Amino acid sequence: MSQIIKAGLVGVTGYTGMELARLMIHHSSMELVRVTSRAEAGKKLADIYPFLNRLPLGDLVITQPDPADLAEECDVVFLAVPHKTAMEIASSLLDQGVKVVDLSADFRINDKATYEEWYAVEHTRPELLAEAVYGLPELYLDKIMGARLIANPGCYPTSSILGLAPALAAGLIETDDIVIDAKSGASGAGRGKNVGSLFCEVHDNFRAYSLPAHRHTPEIEQEISKIAKTDITVSFNTHLLPIDRGILSTIYTRLTNELSLDEAHQVYTDFYADKPLVRVLPIGQLPETRFVKGTVFCDIGLVVDPRTNRLIILSAIDNLCRGASGQALLNANLICGLDMDEGIPMAPMMP
């Protein structure tokens, strides 16, 4: 029997930290040994998360984030802190020989100038940009397995890239007419205190936000341009759903040539044949956010509209699980030599 991997989590009080704690309850080969929070240090984890009462993880005491301590105790550390904060901690941990899965945006954008333009901060660890591996297992499995720094993908990009990859790789669609209409649950906005996130502002309501320039745009363009082997500019637009979790992206594309739904479906099922965490649904089925809630699945549905010669791709993930902490755990498993799906939930909460 192999040794238990010891993991740390910097930033346990947000929704991504909470989600990682949830996932670790049932992981038998990896254990959380350090969780940090500036505001809550000294408390037991069950004090802030009563759902951990009577579980071993609930007794873990929250500490101040201290790279030296983390390095001493952990094999791998998850960073669930805002961008800019993450790059400094990551650098320090790597220097001390710890593997890092960074859930922030700090190492996702290969080009320093592009990062600085969209995030409006200076990137102070550009030397790590080349080393960081973009942690989307369906695209970079081999590189991930050999990495020590993972740039965990954004939630929207995960959904968009997985939805577009087969069509772009096969040249099915025009690259200059892609519109992504994305809708996300409220946990994507984080656990910060702001009026716009209050129940009475979100519930029984629907709205768009951040149009026309959401920060996930360059990340999507970077990855789909690599797949298509040409520079792509997309129209990427985001909306806020009155649900806790889930992203559904409706992706509008123009077919390069006439194509039947059967043919498009075959391209997609072939592309994901050996990638079990992406489910190309049978023809006639469309994804729903509930089918992936709490899991790492990405569900994809396809529609061909002969009236407008469009391929419409629907792609659903759980923004907190596949779009953040669940994918981080896939990556951590891989860089620590475990099976990718070890300890990973596949059963969504239905209903």
Among all residues, which ones are annotated catalytic? 155
> Is the N-terminal amide bond of 212 cis, ω within 30° of 0?
yes
Q: Based on CB atoms, which residue is closest to a second copy, 63 or 249? A: 249
Query: Which residues fall within 8 angstroms of residue 301, CB to CB, at 6 or more apart?
Result: 281, 285, 286, 287, 313, 314, 315
Beta bridge partners of 338: none
Which one of residues 237, 319, 325, 331 is an interface residue with a second copy (CB under 8 A)? 237
Peptide bond connecting 351 to the previous residue in cis, omega within 30 degrees of 0: yes
Q: Which of 127, 204, 258, 274 binds a second copy (CB under 8 A)?
A: 204
Give the dihedral sign, CA 199/37/47/78. positive
User: With binding defined as CB under 8 A, does residue 22 bind a second copy?
Assistant: yes
Instruction: Identify residues 242-261 at the interface with a second copy (CB under 8 A).
Output: 242-246, 248, 250, 252
Shortest spacing between CB 17 and a second copy, in angstroms: 11
| Neighbouring residues of 348: CB distance < 8 A, sequence distance ≥ 6 | 290, 291, 292, 293, 294, 295, 297, 318
Footprint (CB under 8 A) of a second copy, residues 268-307:
276, 279, 281-282, 285-294, 297, 299, 301, 303-305, 307
Q: How far is the CB of 98 from a second copy (least distance, A)?
A: 26
Q: Kindly indicate which of the ranges 35-43, 108-116, 322-330, 342-350 contains the residues binding a second copy, using the contact rule CB under 8 A.
A: 342-350
Distance (Å, rounded) from C-alpha 20 to C-alpha 16? 6
CA angle, 70 then 89 then 197, to 5°: 105
Residue 345 is a binding residue for a second copy (CB under 8 A): yes
Q: Which one of 31, 73, 138, 201 is in contact with a second copy (CB under 8 A)?
A: 201
Are the C-beta atoms of residues 251 and 302 closer than 8 Å to each other? Answer: no
The answer to the question of residue 29 lying near a second copy (CB under 8 A) is no
- Of 107 and 268, the one with the shorter C-beta distance to a second copy is 268
Tell whether residue 6 is a contact of a second copy (CB under 8 A): no
Q: What binding mask, one character per residue, do residues 206-235 give for a second copy by CB under 8 A, x or -?
A: xxxx-xxx-------------------xxx
* 46 and 53 Cβ atoms separated by less than 8 Å: yes
- Looking at 194, 257, 258, 274, which residue binds a second copy (CB under 8 A)? 194
186 binds a second copy (CB under 8 A): yes
Q: 46 to 65, contacts with a second copy by CB under 8 A?
A: 49-51, 53-55
In the set 1, 39, 130, 347, which binds a second copy (CB under 8 A)?
A: 347
- In 3D, which of 256, 268, 301, 271 has the Cα closest to residue 283? 301
Is position 324 an interface residue for a second copy (rule: CB under 8 A)? no
Enumerate residues 6+ apart whose C-beta is below 8 A from 193: none
DSSP 16-45: HHHHHHHHHTT-SSEEEEEEE-TTTTTSBH
Q: In Å, how far are 148, 193, 331, 348 from 145, measured between CA atoms?
A: 9, 37, 8, 27
Cβ distance to a second copy smaller for residue 112 or 207: 207
Select from 179, 225, 263, 342 the one that contacts a second copy (CB under 8 A).
179
Distance in Å, CB of 194 to a second copy, minimum: 6
Residues 81-140 contacting a second copy, CB under 8 A: none
Instruction: Tell me the closest approach of the beta carbon of residue 117 to a second copy, in angstroms.
Output: 12
Looking at the Cβ atoms of 116 and 244, the one nearer to a second copy is: 244
| Residues 232/178, Cβ–Cβ less than 8 Å | yes
- Count, residues near a second copy per rule CB under 8 A: 85
Sequence-distant (≥ 6) Cβ neighbours of residue 62 within 8 angstroms: 12, 35, 36, 37, 40, 41, 42, 43, 44, 45, 48
Q: Which is nearer to a second copy, 43 or 112 (CB)?
A: 43
Half-sphere exposure of 178 (CA within 13 A, CB side): 29
Q: Does 193 bind a second copy (CB under 8 A)?
A: yes
Task: State the nearest-atom distance from the C-beta of 4 to a second copy, in Å.
Answer: 18
